[in-house]
Structure 1
Amino acid sequence: MNVTDPKANLAALIKCPSVTPAEGGALGALTEMLSPLGFKVERSTETDENTPDIENLYARLGGEGPHLMFAGHTDVVPVGDEAAWTHPPFAAEIADGQMYGRGAVDMKGGIACFVAAAARYIEKHGKLPGSLSFLITGDEEADAVNGTIKLLERMAKAGETWDACLVGEPTNPDKLGEMIKIGRRGSISGWITVFGTQGHAAYPHLADNPLRGAVQLANALMEVPFDQGTDEFPPTNLEVTSIDTGNAATNVIPAAAKVVFNIRFNDLWTADSVKQEIITRLDKAARTGNLRGERPPVRYEIAWSIRPSHVFLTRDDKLISSLAGAVESVVGERPKLSTTGGTSDARFIKDYCPVVEFGLVGQTMHMVDERVALADLETLTQIYETFIERWFADART
């Protein structure tokens, strides 16, 4: 197999049905790509209570000098209605200059390109002026419990340290080369239960409809902006994603209502401070402005996501300039440095070394007919190879 060809690499990975939590053969395919290049490949299975076991891979080439890590995931989201695909989701078929398949851009394409870039660098230069590693996991698209966070812990305990990391997530909105992610907002989800009194809809004076209180609390969370954003981050944003009672009857006032929300917060907040702000808003709304009139305070309780994502911003000039310079040298334009979007496994890697994200155009990720332009695969490989050259040169200065 010619691993310098990103198209061949991606086809091999797409053909592995690695829908979370299944490994699907993807890590085996990656092992076959990396081992001939001289990488020492280790595979491990991580476990935790009430979660599926996850297979992960760590591969390293070189034993000294500056250490650059490439991180990513081979797991993919389900295909949905397979009949709606114009090309089978695990066939890697090519049509009109594009390769179709689940994971083409999120993010088997990025992995395929970095393997090709590493192979081209080694073919051209021989020995690395340092160390290069791949940290590839299998549950990024799910709960991220037994993937990156545990593999990082495992390798750190084994003595591994890293100087910088590139995550190959699809960061570009419209065209390749326009955006590098240098940080991410924090994220917390919450589940509010509002308590009422069940009763007949025709006799509301004998009941207490919890939906009235649920609406009050939801409005209190969304009405007033949390902030106006900062120089590096957009404004904090909270969205109520569900209000539900589980009540199938039309003439029964329910006993309780549940409100679900998610907040993405910038660097004006910590996980603890944004939680406190939310509780302050809820307590105030519970005591005042009841939609029903004179009623006791709204009775509620709140539960939080077990592992919130913390806001972070990478300030490593050599890492950022090496990547931005590589992008500009290949596509002719300087990329924007951004902190927009959701979370990624970079939120775990930031605790071990500076991390940035750059990959393919993400317009079709998670969609029916996910696909990538073949030209973009070649361009991204060239960017990655140039980045490897620049980073090792900069890391030695």
Structure 2
Amino acid sequence: MTAHGGPVTAPADVIDLAQRLIRCPSRAGIDGYGPVLGVLEDWLAGRGLPYRRLHGDSGDTVGLLVEVAGGRPGPWWALDACVDTAPYGDEAAWSFAPDSGEVVDGWLRGRGAADSKLAAAMFCGIAAELHGRAGALHGGLAVLLDVDEHTGGFGGARAYLADRRAARPAGVMIGYPGFDEVVVGGRGLWRASIAVHAASGHSGSRRSTPGAVSRAAHLVRLLEEADLPGADGEFPLPPKLTVTSCHGGQGFSVVPDVCELGVDIRTTPAFDARAAEQLVREAVAELDAKVSVPRPATITPVASWPPYRLGTDRQPAAALLDAAAVEGLIVRPKTAGPSNIGNLLAGEGIPATAGFGVRYEGLHGVDERACLEDLPAVHAVYRRAVLSLLGRSS
């Protein structure tokens, strides 16, 4: 099959690029990103594709942006896949080298095979297919290749949206794996650090009051016993509260005067960031009312993203689901429990899908691998969806 952008990139070429990416370790916060970006730049330059590096606030490289401009007016759409990865974990637990990049029994092996170097290679292939004879396209296609995703900073997406030279995308399709579902929504989050205070003293003193750790433990119970609403309306997931960290004390003989808690609340349209913060403030007020303390507990919000959910008739979800149906696939829309780049984009008013790709195993764990049997169908779905959004049939 050919199109105005030229022949479809052969699966072997996509796999070869993905293998080379896997063989360049790019663990977030551990490895330098120069080698993995160099692989991409060589591949893009060899096909004459226009690209440039994106830089974060501190000047560090946070991604590559490929831009294929159409010859007719229209909105721009984006494909996004990360090429930084999770760490390896216990390498002794792997049955193959985390950076092997080998294909065994139809599975591509290595860290990043599933999340998301295979998708990055596939998206580069789609850009190559459209480039060169793109005059018939309406608007344009951007391909964002992140190296600041697994840090949680999402610097590539932030730099892309802040780049005045780049057209603002009308929607984004993120290449996370998973063959049976398209993620069209996700819970948001509200996170805070809480410092619980108390009077310090000697642990062996005859007179003592609850220390900061004891008071923090009571606050944990108040938070975990708080009433949260259930799922509401068209948003299928309820909110969730988790105390994720507890730090306090410096020895056995000292009653600690401060203990810090980390709280993660996953939000929904019916229980948003304001409701989450109010719940925490009420629990802290109840704690402080019980015992007189030198200082009330202090709450420091550290992050907040909105929940989002696209209707299946809204782009780019509709184009992706329609393309899957044309290719004979049964793909269900899904609202995810964890947050993702889609939440960041939702906060910017940009609709996104996050998660349609090949089957996988070991994502963020041991023996990560991606099923190459699924690659032709996944490639065809994304290609068809992009052409539909850009005003062309396949």
Q: TM over 0.5, yes or no? A: yes
Give the C-alpha shift of residue 372 in structure 1.
0.7
Report the secondary structure of 1:34's partner residue.
helix
Listed one character per residue, the Cα deviations across residues 42-64 of structure 1 (whole Å, up to 9, x for unaligned) are 1133233xxx8234211111244
* Cα displacement string for residues 74-108 of structure 1 (whole angstroms, at most 9, x for unaligned residues): 11122123333222222201222211111111111
Aligned to 1:329: 326
CA distance in structure 2 between the aligned counterparts of 1:105 and 1:384, rounded to whole angstroms = 16
Partner of 1:11: 19
Q: Distance in 1 between matches of 2:350 and 2:194?
A: 36
TM-score (norm 1): 0.84
Map of 2:238 onto structure 1: 235
Structure 1 CA distance, aligned partners of 2:54 and 2:120?
Answer: 19
Report the CA distance shift for 1:299/1:391 in structure 2 as closer, same or farther (over 3 A).
same
Asked if the contact 2:342–2:351 (Cα under 8 Å) also holds between the matched residues in 1, the reply is no
How far, CA to CA, are the matches of 2:54 and 2:127 in structure 1?
23
Letter aligned with residue 270 of structure 1:
D
Counterparts of 2:227 and 2:43 in 1: how far apart (Å)? 49
Offset of residue 41 of structure 1 = 0.7
User: Contact conserved, 1:9 with 1:116, CA < 8 A, in 2?
Assistant: no
Q: Say which SS state the counterpart of residue 107 (structure 1) adopts.
A: helix
Distance 2:255 2:392 in 1: 66
User: 2:170 maps to which residue?
Assistant: 163
Range with greater deviation from structure 2 (236-245 or 338-347): 338-347
Is the 1:213–1:286 Cα contact (8 Å) retained in structure 2?
no
* Residue aligned with 1:29, SS: helix
Matches of 1:23 and 1:33, distance apart in 2 = 16
In structure 2, the partner of 1:186 is 188
Q: CA deviation at 1:142?
A: 0.8
The verdict on how the C-alpha distance between 1:45 and 1:245 changes in structure 2, with shifts beyond 3 A counting, is: same
Alignment of 1:68-107 (within 5 A): 68-107=77-116
Deviation of 1:143 (Å):
4.0
Cα distance in 2 for partners of 1:115, 1:146 equals 20
Q: Which residue of 2 aligns with 1:150?
A: 159
Q: Which runs of 5+ in 1 are unaligned?
A: 289-294
Q: How many Å separate the matches in 1 of 2:81 and 2:226?
A: 37
Structure 2 stretches of 5 or more lacking a match? 1-7
1:230-379 paired onto structure 2 within 5 Å: 230=232, 231-249=234-252, 251-288=253-290, 295-296=291-292, 299-305=296-302, 307-315=303-311, 317-333=314-330, 335-350=331-346, 351=348, 353-360=350-357, 361=359, 363-379=361-377
Whether the 8 Å CA contact 1:241–1:260 is kept in 2: the answer is yes
- How many residue pairs align between the two structures? 374
Q: Which amino acid aligns with 1:327?
A: A
Whether contact under 8 Å (2:149, 2:155) holds in the other structure is: no
Q: Which amino acid aligns with 1:4?
A: A
Tell me the TM-score normalised to structure 2 length.
0.85
Equivalent position of 1:23 in the other structure: 33
Secondary structure class of the residue paired with 2:281:
helix
Cα shift at 1:239: 0.4
How far has the Cα of 1:329 moved from its partner? 3.1
Further displaced range: 234-243 or 143-152? 143-152
Q: How far apart, CA to CA, are the structure 1 residues paired with 2:336 and 2:16?
A: 32
Residue identity matched to 2:356:
G
Task: Verify the 8 A CA contact 1:4 1:119 in the aligned structure 2.
Answer: no
1:104-125 Cα offsets, whole Å, 9 max, x none, are: 11111221222334445669x8
Task: For 1:338 and 1:145, locate their aligned partners in 2 and report how far apart those are by CA, in whole Å.
Answer: 22
Residue 147 of structure 2 is aligned to residue 138 of structure 1: yes
From 36, 44, 48, the counterpart of 1:34: 44
Q: Distance in 2 between matches of 1:44 and 1:304?
A: 28
Aligned residue type for 2:185: G
SS at match of 2:77: strand
Q: Tell whether the 8 Å contact from 1:85 to 1:368 is kept in structure 2 after alignment.
A: yes
TM-aligned CA deviation for residue 378 of structure 1: 2.9
**Once the two structures are superposed, what CA deviation does each residue of 1:281-337 show, in whole Å capped at 9, x if it has no partner?**
32124324xxxxxx43694112121x422222334624222111222333531x222
Say what the alpha-carbon RMSD is for the aligned residues: 2.8
For the residue of structure 1 that corresponds to 2:56, the secondary structure is: strand
Task: Specify whether residues 68 and 198 from structure 1 end up closer, same or farther in structure 2 by C-alpha distance, changes over 3 A only.
Answer: same
Partners in 2 of 1:302 and 1:97 — Cα distance? 51
Q: Give 1:291's aligned residue.
A: none
Secondary structure (helix, strand or coil) at the match of 1:147 reads helix
CA shift for structure 1 position 144: 1.2
Give aligned-pair identity as a percent: 22
More displaced 10-residue stretch of structure 1: 103-112 or 240-249: 240-249
The 1-side partners of 2:47 and 2:189 are apart by 39
Aligned residues of 1:7 and 1:377 also touching (Cα < 8 A) = no
Distance of aligned partners of 1:120 and 1:80 in 2 relative to their CA distance in 1, 3 Å threshold: same
SS in 1 for 2:327: helix
Q: More displaced, 74-83 or 260-269?
A: 74-83
